[in-house]
């Protein structure tokens, strides 16, 4: 099964670190901001977990890691991925986007799919989110923080999807 996955995109293969370290790359093009700047207390107060947020410049979400899709929300506004070391990453596209009931979102993966870093997961219409949701800001949080020994924010400013390192996590 893994041979098939890794043979597709050999350049994106990132094997797990022997020291239990995960590197999380940006799932979006845009600008990284602190979770404290997210205008929603669920994220800004880290109730869902620690991480960062991105102000997207376009409507494509790619996998920030090699891993497995553990959840694609029915409204396609959020997706969960488990890394090879067991860290669970939630990408929540915009705020109050669940109320769009999937309008403007297209998913390219489903639960159980194995993904490579940089693989396209979801596309969304940035104009629809700007018009109908409260914000386009996209939190990227670690939802199973009990596994995390340390989390380091690596990037500030502009980021490139699948290329810019945003978090380093030790488990």
Helix H, strand E, coil C: the string for the chain is: CHHHHHHHCHHHCCCCCCCCEEEEECCCCEEEEEHHHCCCHHHHCCCCCEEEEEEECCCEEECCCCEEEEEECCCCCEEEEEECCCCEEEEECCECHHHHCCCCEEECCCCCCEECCCCEEEEECHHHHHHHCCECCEEEEECCHHHCCEEEECCCEEECCCCCEEEEEEC
Residue 103: pLDDT over 90: yes
pLDDT at 5: 34
- Here the tokens at position 123 are 């596309």
Percent of the chain with pLDDT over 70: 88
| For the ranges 21-25, 115-119, 147-151, the one whose mean pLDDT is highest | 115-119
User: Catalytic residue positions?
Assistant: 92
Q: How many C-beta atoms surround the C-beta of residue 24 within 10 A?
A: 24
| Superfamily, domain 20-170 | Glucose Permease (Domain IIA) (2.70.70.10)
| Radius of gyration of the chain measured on its C-alpha atoms | 15
pLDDT at 156: 78
**Chain mean pLDDT for the chain:** 89
The full set of domain ranges for the chain reads 20-170
Mean pLDDT of 68-88: 96
Q: How far apart are the first and last CA of the chain?
A: 25
pLDDT interval class at 6 (50, 70, 90): very low
Residue 117's alpha-carbon distances to 92, 97, 128, in angstroms, are 18, 25, 27
Closest CA to 66 of 11, 137, 105: 11
Residue 116: pLDDT over 90: yes
Q: How many C-beta atoms surround the C-beta of residue 48 within 10 A?
A: 17
């Amino acid at each position: 099964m893994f041979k098939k996955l890794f043979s597709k995109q050999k350049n994106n293969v990132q094997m797990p670190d022997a020291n239990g370290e995960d590197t999380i790359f940006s799932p979006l093009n845009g600008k990284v901001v602190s979770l404290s700047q997210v205008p929603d207390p669920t994220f800004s107060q880290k109730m869902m977990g620690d991480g960062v947020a991105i102000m997207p410049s376009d409507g494509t979400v790619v996998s920030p890691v090699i891993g497995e899709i553990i959840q694609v929300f029915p409204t396609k506004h959020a997706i969960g991925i488990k890394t090879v070391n067991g860290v669970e990453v939630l990408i929540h596209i915009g705020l109050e986007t669940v109320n769009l009931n999937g309008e403007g979102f297209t998913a390219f993966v489903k639960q159980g799919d194995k993904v490579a870093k940089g693989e396209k997961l979801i596309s969304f219409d940035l104009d629809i989110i700007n018009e109908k949701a409260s914000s386009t800001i996209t939190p990227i949080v670690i939802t199973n923080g009990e596994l995390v020994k340390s989390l380091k924010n690596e990037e500030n400013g502009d980021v490139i999807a699948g290329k810019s390192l945003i978090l380093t996590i030790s488990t």
